[in-house]
Structure 1
Amino acid sequence: MCCIKASRELQENEEIPALMAFGDSILDTGNNNDLISVLKCNFPPYGMDFIGGKPTGRFCDGKVLTDLIAEGLGIKETVPAYLDPNLQSKDLPTGDLYGLGVRKIGVLSTLPLGCLPIIRTLHGGPMRFCGDNANRAAQLFNSKLLAEVNSLNSSLPQAKIVYVDVYNPLLDLIKNPVKSGFRVPERSCCGTGLFEAVILCNQLTPFTCDNVSEFVFWDSAHPSERAYRTMTPPILQDLKKSFS
C-alpha cells in the first residue's frame, strides 16, 4: 500500500491526497475479476453487506481493509479496481510509485495465518487450535519485512516508509473476541465455517450464518468487514502519525 506525497509536506489534519494498494486477496477490491483464475468471489453471498448488497470481487461480506483505510484517510469511500473495465480516467489520480514522486508508503504485515479457519481445520488437530508452524512462519516473515522497511528508509532519500502491524490486532480479536463484541473467532460465517472459501462459499452453501457481525472471519481465509473495521483505527493512527 502506498500514499502519494503532495507538493508540500503533509500538515497535521491534512488529507492524504491519494492511495494505491498492492497485495493479495486481503486488499483486492476486484482486480481478480479480470484475471484468469478459478479463485473468484464475484458471486453471492460475497458482497452481501457491500453498497447495494452486490458482489464486487472483494473477498469479504462488505468492504476490505483497502476501502476502510482510504475512507479513514479521507480519500474516497471505496477504492476502484485498477483492472475494472469500467474504470474512468478521473479515478486514476488516487494512486502512483517512488520513481514518480511517492514518498509516503505504508507496508502491512502478514496476518496470523495459523489462526485462519481453514488452517485450523487442516493443521489444528481435533480441537482445531491455531497452527503454530504457520504463525511462526508469519512472524519470521514480518520480522524480515520490518528489517527491509528500515533498510529502505535508510537508502531512499526523503522516503517515509512505515511498517504497519496487522498481525497482532487480528490475533487480539481472535484471542479476545468478546472484548470487541465478537462471538465466533475460530470458524467463519460462510457454510460450516471450517473450509469454505471462494467457489466453496456460494449462495447454495448451507448453514451460512445469519449474523456475520458476530464472526471474526467471513470465509475460512478472510476476515469480515466488521473485523477489518475493528482493526482499522490503530492502523490509521500509525499512518497519520508517521505521515504528518
Structure 2
Amino acid sequence: MASEAIPCFLAYLLLQILAVNAKVPAIIVFGDSSVDSGNNNHVGTLLKSNFAPYGRDFRGGKPTGRFSNGRIPTDFISEAFGNKPLIPAYLDTTYDIKDFATGVCFASAGTGYDNATSDVLSVIPLWKELEYYKEYQKKLRGYLGNEKAKDLLGEALYLISIGTNDFLENYYIFRGRKSQFSVVEYQHFLVQIARNFLTELHRLGARKVSISGLPPMGCLPLERTTNLFSGSHCIEEYNNVARDFNKKLNGMIIELNKELAGIKLVLSNPYDILSQIIQNPSSFGFENAAKACCGTGMFEMSYLCNKRSPFTCSDANKYVFWDSFHPTEKTNKIIADYVVKNSLAQFL
C-alpha cells in the first residue's frame, strides 16, 4: 500500500508544480498582419498570404495566412510560455473552442486603431476583433463553465500589436485624416482609441496585457523603395513619428496601470531591437536588411509576392524581411525572444 502511495503522491506533487508554474494558461492576440495567423483567409479582402511562397519554411511548407516564410512572433511567445507553438486564427473553421481555450488570434492584416484604416483594404476593424472576443468568451464559458472560464481569462496573456497601418496605409497616403489632424494630433487620436480598447478589455476580465509599440517603419523595404531617389535610405520622418507615438503610448500605459484595478499592462517595444538588426544585420547573422527575400525585395507583398515572383531568395535566413513589409521567421524569433526577456518576463 505504501509503495503504491508514493508514486501517486509524486504524480499529485508534479501536477501541483505544473499548476503553479502555468501562470499563463492561454495567449489571446489582437492586432494586424504582424500577428495575424490566418483570419484574413476568411475575409473578403485582397490582403491575403495563404499561398506560396508564404509559409515556405513553415512546418510542411504550408502557407497559413501568416505574413512570413514561417512563424510569427506570437507563435514564439506562446511557446516560450510553455504553451502550444502555433496560435490558431479564430475564423479558421478547422479549429474549435477546445483549441482556442489555450490560445486564439483575432488579428487581421491591414487593420489599425482607426476604423478608417481597416476600410482601406476591407479588413476586420479593431472593434470587430473585440466583438469576436466577446463571442469567444461565451463559447469558453459553455466549454469550461463560468468560474473556470473567468479564471482562464484573468490569467491569460493578451498580446496586442497594431498601429503601423494607421500611418503607412492611411495617414501618409490619403487626405482624409491628414486634413483633420496634424501628425501629433493623429498620434493622440490613436492613443485615445488604444486607451478605450484597453479599458474595455479590462472590463471584460483581462488582467495581463502587453501592447506593442511601432517598429522603425521608415526602414521597411517598401518605404525605402519610395525613397529610391535619396539612396533608398530609411525615411527618418516616419521613424521619428514611431518613436514619438511609442512615448505617448507608454505614458498612457503608466496612467492605466494606476487607474485600472488589478491590471498588469506593459509596453512591448520592438523598435530598438529591430533598429539594431537593421543597422547591424551581420551581428545577428543576416546579410541583407534593406531588401526583402521575396521577389525583388523592394515592393512585393501579398499577391505581388507569389510563387511566380522572380528573384525570390533561396535562403530567407539571410534576410531581415520576408516581403517588403514583414519580417522573416528568423527575425520574428529574435523579436519574440527580446520581448519575452525585456517586457514579458514578469508574466513567466
TM-score normalised according to structure 1 size = 0.91
- The equivalent of 1:128 in structure 2 is 232
Q: Using the alignment, how far apart are the partners of 2:213 and 2:289 within structure 1?
A: 20
Runs of 4+ with deviation above 4 angstroms: none
The amino acid across from 1:86 in the alignment is T
Structure 2: give runs of 5+ residues left out of the alignment: 1-18, 104-152, 154-200
- For structure 1, which segment, 140-149 or 173-182, has the greater mean C-alpha deviation from structure 2 after superposition? 140-149
- The equivalent of 2:300 in structure 1 is 196
Q: Using the alignment, how far apart are the partners of 1:199 and 1:46 within structure 2?
A: 10
Q: Using the alignment, how far apart are the partners of 1:164 and 1:170 within structure 2?
A: 12
Decide whether the 8 Å contact of 1:15 with 1:75 is kept in 2: no
Instruction: Report matched runs for 1:1-244 at 5 Å.
Output: 14-95=22-103, 96=153, 97-123=201-227, 125-243=229-347
Q: Using the alignment, how far apart are the partners of 2:225 and 2:215 within structure 1?
A: 17
The amino acid across from 2:75 in the alignment is D
Decide whether the 8 Å contact of 2:48 with 2:302 is kept in 1: yes
Q: Using the alignment, how far apart are the partners of 1:18 and 1:26 within structure 2?
A: 19
The amino acid across from 2:306 in the alignment is N
Greater relative CO (CA pairs within 8 A, separation 6+) = 1
SS of the aligned residue for 2:291 comes to: strand
Q: Using the alignment, how far apart are the partners of 1:164 and 1:124 within structure 2?
A: 31
SS of the aligned residue for 1:21 comes to: strand
Greater share of strand: 1
- The equivalent of 2:170 in structure 1 is none
Indicate how the Cα distance of structure 1 residues 240 and 136 shifts in structure 2: closer, same or farther if over 3 A, else same.
closer
Q: Using the alignment, how far apart are the partners of 2:207 and 2:224 within structure 1?
A: 39
SS of the aligned residue for 2:99 comes to: helix
The amino acid across from 2:258 in the alignment is S
SS of the aligned residue for 2:209 comes to: strand
Indicate how the Cα distance of structure 1 residues 118 and 240 shifts in structure 2: closer, same or farther if over 3 A, else same.
closer
Q: Using the alignment, how far apart are the partners of 2:255 and 2:41 within structure 1?
A: 35
The amino acid across from 1:188 in the alignment is A
Residue-pair matches, total: 234
Question: Which structure's CA Rg is the greater one?
Answer: 2
SS of the aligned residue for 1:119 comes to: helix
Q: Using the alignment, how far apart are the partners of 1:241 and 1:79 within structure 2?
A: 20
SS of the aligned residue for 1:110 comes to: coil
Q: Using the alignment, how far apart are the partners of 1:205 and 1:131 within structure 2?
A: 26
Identity %: 42
Decide whether the 8 Å contact of 2:74 with 2:336 is kept in 1: no
Q: Using the alignment, how far apart are the partners of 2:26 and 2:67 within structure 1?
A: 23
1:100 to partner: Cα distance: 3.8
SS of the aligned residue for 2:296 comes to: coil
Q: Using the alignment, how far apart are the partners of 2:101 and 2:253 within structure 1?
A: 26
SS of the aligned residue for 1:157 comes to: coil
Structure 1: give runs of 5+ residues left out of the alignment: 1-9
